[in-house]
Chain A
Amino acid sequence: MRHIISILIENEAGALSRVSGLFSARGYNIETLTVAPTEDASLSRMTIVTTGSDEVLEQITKQLNKLVDVVKVVDLSEAAHIERELMLIKVRATGKDREEMKRMADIFRGRIIDVTDSTYVVELTGSSSKLDSFISAIDTGLILETVRTGVSGIGRGDRILKV
């Protein structure tokens, strides 16, 4: 099962490697990982997308909590939540493809943020599966480059992850 884990961690040198090292040492899987400081600069927030059985997820949460720098850990996917990922995708945009690519970007509510006479860069936000759908909806031969941020997530309503 796919899970989205949110972590509040002390914003110290090496904090990221403590978490990523834990995942590799214990054989847990990381699909995506994002990290950045929060409004409180002494704290970083990390979002990790991982897969595993319930038992594995229980261990992941416990092992993360055991890290001395980790302040809080939440499995966002246990309740209502929102996930977003940002993708920048550079595509060939010439001839009839130019109009078609514009149309596709519109359908997916993407924005074209860079234009040359032969390329577009499309900015797209959404769930990971939406980004995947965009990639499969366009002609793969036209894709020149993609970059994705990995998932960021937040709980809905009153679910708040804070110190």
Chain B
Amino acid sequence: MKMTGAEIVIRCLQEEKVEVMFGYPGGAVLHIYDELFKQEQVKHILVRHEQAAVHAADGYARSTQKVGVALVTSGPGATNAVTGIATAYMDSIPIVVLSGQVPVPAIGQDAFQEVDMVGITRPCVKHNFLVKDVRDLADTIKKAFHIAKTGRPGPVVVDIPKDVTAHTCEFVYPESVQMRSYNPVVKGHLGQIKKAAQLLAEAKRPIIYVGGGAVLSDASEPLRKLVHQLGYPVTNTLMGLGAVSGTDKHNLGMLGMHGTLEANMAMHYADVVLSVGARFDDRVIGNPANFAEEPRKIIHIDIDPSSISKRVKVDVPIVGNVPDVLEEMLKLIDGKKPDPAQTADWWQRIGEWRSKNCLGYKQDKELIMPQYVVQKLYEITKGEAIVCSDVGQHQMWAAQYYPFAEPRRWLNSGGLGTMGVGLPYAMGAQFAHPDATVAVITGEGSIQMCIQELSTAKQFRLPLKIISLNNRYLGMVRQWQEMFYGSRYSGSYMDSLPDFVKLAEAYGHVGFRVEKPEDVEPVLKKAFIDHKDDLVFIDFQTNREANVFPMVAAGKGLTELILAEDL
């Protein structure tokens, strides 16, 4: 059957079982919007800024196993999408972004709303396409979805000129994708897995170090089995939270710049490190030279070979899909538990580190401690909320004080550290899980970077709960300035903040301000119980000078961790 390019786009999305798409119309995508209007299978969510469209698609993907989809127009629509695309790229999130482009004959003519989208996004996509012929459209969209979700996932941009959406051709949706240049490895090398199992069996000071790859590949089940089979301690990166339950006694918590003392010390002094979908990044191991001082064997499972031996030398590289490799490893271990005596000393040392209670903080009678708000949120949501965080101090407190029992419940921008993602992530997550409790943990700085989405949330009746830890500072910047710049708070103080309660109300939502510690719990209850079906914005006026600890300063080693009590 002959179809226009616009019809083909929509048909492809239907074939890919896309239920929700986030977008913003404009000249170059009007044909596509017209086709969207004529059908009901793909639901379009009109955002208020293209950046949020991509973040929402990203949040949708993070909270599910599905590919998120965003649709933006050419020129400014496309450039606004770039931050969202780069954010997804850094965290390996499978999304497909369809962008309009000026008609093919106008490309290169500096036409109205023209921008070289393929050129601009090249360094921050897994792959991108410019479709110049309608006959290539279906094939390209099929490839885009395939590339986005296979191998190490990532964003794919399909740039579609307006005339291509008007041209017609026969529509055939390809059943499968064959690309000679793209065949990601799935199975790990058995010999390597054997070596790894051997090393693990003999380890005296083992640690299992889990990253975002374990969440993205849905490896929780075999991973938890492995942890319990071996009885070894486990730590996770910011992106790996929830892969192993945060309350599991084997879990030492998050490691890295704001990781726990026990996790960082165990990582540093381990004799065998099993890295599961993690990449030893600068926020995790700090200074690689310092990390290299201790001798240890590193086993690294990753689907992306370029993540292996990038920052630290790896002894047993295993390229493959994490759950597949872990299943193989479990088969090899075959129910044999290592003798607990072998790691008894190690657990004892870990116990000593744990006893320092590095996440302890001083309660205050007058001022609300931000950590306390997160803890109360955990209690009231029974630890079952999908928590979407922005970027800054609140993000670290959320990661530290909200132990996630399951994966895909913690959505935040780990790699790029994009302020403003929280609210659109929550929108994406709520569309994916209409019955789930979705909370945004944010600050007065981050929330204002995508605050316009309060309007989208109203239009689609999203009952999000926004927990704003408002310290009237760009807190993480202020903390660094306090610690490393002689307390010169340059540009980190925000004057003339809006009245967030009134702002929420102006958008048609419910707003509360909380100024006293004793009001934290009742107001949270009011929000989550009495106003279950409303979007509630809670402006918590928190202790202005609270800092995030523990902390490994940039460029320092894990052992140079600063604890709250050290100051």
Q: Which residues of A contact B (CB under 8 A)?
A: 9-10, 13-14, 17-18, 21, 25, 55, 58-59, 62-63, 65-66, 68-71, 163
Contacts and interface: CB of A to CB of B under 8 A. Distances in A.
Contact of A25 (B123, B147, B180): B123
B179 to A, nearest CB: 8
In the A-B complex, the 10 residue pairs with the smallest Cβ-Cβ separation, listed nearest first, are: A62-B306, A68-B127, A71-B181, A25-B123, A62-B305, A68-B182, A63-B306, A21-B122, A66-B306, A69-B181
Contacts of A70: 181
Interface string B297-316: 00000001110011000000
20 contacts: A9-B181, A13-B130, A14-B119, A14-B130, A18-B122, A21-B122, A21-B123, A55-B309, A58-B309, A59-B306, A62-B305, A65-B306, A66-B306, A68-B127, A68-B147, A68-B179, A68-B181, A68-B182, A69-B127, A71-B180
A159 to B, nearest CB: 20
A13 B127 CA distance: 13
B159 to A, nearest CB: 11
A14 B306 contact: no
Most chain A beta-carbon neighbours within 10 Å: one of B119, B179, B180, B306: B306
A10 B178 CA distance: 14
A65 B305 contact: yes
A66 B309 contact: no
Contacts of A68: 126-127, 147, 179, 181-182
A62 B300 CA distance: 16
Interface in B291-344: 304-306, 309-310
B14 to A, nearest CB: 25
A69 B180 CA distance: 9
Nearest to A24: B123
Given A59-B310, A71-B181, 17 more contacts: A14-B118, A14-B122, A17-B119, A17-B122, A21-B122, A21-B123, A25-B123, A58-B309, A62-B305, A63-B306, A65-B306, A66-B304, A66-B305, A68-B126, A68-B182, A69-B181, A163-B180
Nearest to B119: A17
Interface residues of B, number: 17
A25 B118 CA distance: 16
Interface of B: 118-119, 122-123, 126-127, 130, 147, 179-182, 304-306, 309-310
B104 to A, nearest CB: 12
A37 B310 CA distance: 32
Contacts of A58: 309
A71 B122 CA distance: 18
A17 B122 CA distance: 9
Contacts, number: 37
Contacts of B309: 55, 58
Contacts of B126: 68
A18 B304 CA distance: 18
A59 B309 CA distance: 8
A14 B130 CA distance: 10
Contacts of B127: 68-69
Contacts of A163: 180
Contacts of A13: 130
A1 B309 CA distance: 19
A34 to B, nearest CB: 20
Nearest to B306: A62
Most chain A beta-carbon neighbours within 10 Å: one of B126, B127, B181: B181
A6 to B, nearest CB: 15
Nearest to B182: A68
A68 B180 CA distance: 10
Nearest to A63: B306
Most chain A beta-carbon neighbours within 10 Å: one of B126, B179, B180: B180
A13 B118 CA distance: 11
A163 B181 CA distance: 9
Contacts of A17: 119, 122
B85 to A, nearest CB: 15
A15 to B, nearest CB: 10
Most chain B beta-carbon neighbours within 10 Å: one of A13, A25, A68, A70: A68
B517 to A, nearest CB: 48
A12 B304 CA distance: 24
A36 B180 CA distance: 19
A58 B311 CA distance: 12
A24 to B, nearest CB: 9
A71 B179 CA distance: 9
Contacts of B305: 62, 65-66
Nearest to B125: A68
B181 A10 contact: yes
A68 B310 CA distance: 20
Contacts of A55: 309
A58 B180 CA distance: 22
A10 B127 CA distance: 13
Contacts of B130: 13-14
Nearest to A64: B306
A9 B180 CA distance: 10
Contacts of A71: 180-181
A156 B304 CA distance: 31
Contacts of A9: 181
Contacts of A65: 305-306
Contacts of B304: 66
A69 B119 CA distance: 15
Contacts of A59: 306, 310
A13 B107 CA distance: 14
A66 B181 CA distance: 9
A100 to B, nearest CB: 49
B68 to A, nearest CB: 19
A97 to B, nearest CB: 47
A25 B124 CA distance: 10
A17 B304 CA distance: 22
B404 to A, nearest CB: 30
Contacts of A69: 127, 181
A10 B179 CA distance: 10
Nearest to B130: A13
Contacts of A66: 304-306
A84 to B, nearest CB: 27
A82 to B, nearest CB: 26
Contacts of A21: 122-123
Nearest to B122: A21
B101 to A, nearest CB: 13
B280 to A, nearest CB: 13
Nearest to A10: B181
A133 B117 CA distance: 45
A163 B122 CA distance: 25
A10 to B, nearest CB: 6
